[in-house]
Amino acid sequence: MEPLSPFRPLTKGTTLRGFTLVEMIVVLAIIVVVTAVVINGQSTYNRSILLTDTAYTVAYSIRQAQSLGLASRGAGGIVDAGYGVRFAGTTGYTVFADTTGTPALSESVCPLNRPPPGQPDTPETKPGNCRYDPGTDHVVQNYTFSRGYTIGNICGKSGSTLTCSLSSLDMVFMRPETRAILIGPSNQSFTCVEVHVRPPTGNEVRIIRVSQLGEISVGQACP
């Protein structure tokens, strides 16, 4: 009886065949294509996750300013002041306490509750001017984006018109108001604003929306 073996014994005239050079090149090409697709898909996924995380970080900073403004106290022992976020440029933003500045807005837009000239301040009197004044307002923290993420656009809505490519935007919160004071260049007041965050490559964006009612959301545009 012949022994059981998975291999057939070689006999005279048997030819051994392996992979040809063309077959190896084809296989390697398939492996390279599949690997490139997987790596590109993973890179796109990671970029999307980081973009979303960056947008939520911005939204959290705005929420922080809102909480400080409604509590009327915050960093440095500053009380009875509005707190806000200034967006200007593409690489970051500033959280600040609105402690200085000459009022340039109407009381209906910026309720500082200041008494008439010559009269003493009241407990509801607020300093500032509902804008960020570099060099004089108290800076709570400066934020700078990393990994090449930037602010791609700033938009403000007034009435039914949405204006984009704004050069600056101030969001200020102060008690007893629960609404947001949204001011653009030339003291233009908005009812809703959008801050667009972009990754270093690609056209994908994340929108941070803030309404005049004080609503802060990610991924939604102004209605």
User: Would residue 166 count as lying in a domain?
Assistant: yes
* Count of domains forming the chain: 1
What range does the domain containing 193 cover? 22-218
User: Would residue 7 count as lying in a domain?
Assistant: no
User: Would residue 1 count as lying in a domain?
Assistant: no
Over residues 53-62, the pLDDT tens digits come to 999 999 999 9
pLDDT value of residue 157: 97
The answer to whether residue 45 scores a pLDDT higher than 70 is: no
Residue 157 in 3-state DSSP? Answer: strand
Q: Cα separations (Å) of 174 from 106, 117, 133?
A: 15, 22, 17
Exposure class string for 52-86: b at 16+ Cβ within 10 A, else e:
eebbbebbebbbbbbebbbebbbeeebebbbbbbb
Q: How confident is the model at residue 22 (pLDDT cuts 50, 70, 90)?
A: confident
What's the mean per-residue pLDDT of the chain?
86
User: Would residue 223 count as lying in a domain?
Assistant: no
Burial of 212 (0-12, 13-18, 19+ CB in 10 A): middle
pLDDT value of residue 176: 83
The answer to whether residue 189 scores a pLDDT higher than 80 is: yes
Comparing 53 with 202, which gets the higher pLDDT? Answer: 53
User: Would residue 32 count as lying in a domain?
Assistant: yes
The fraction of the chain above a pLDDT of 90, given in percent, is 57
pTM attached to this predicted model = 0.79
User: Would residue 16 count as lying in a domain?
Assistant: no
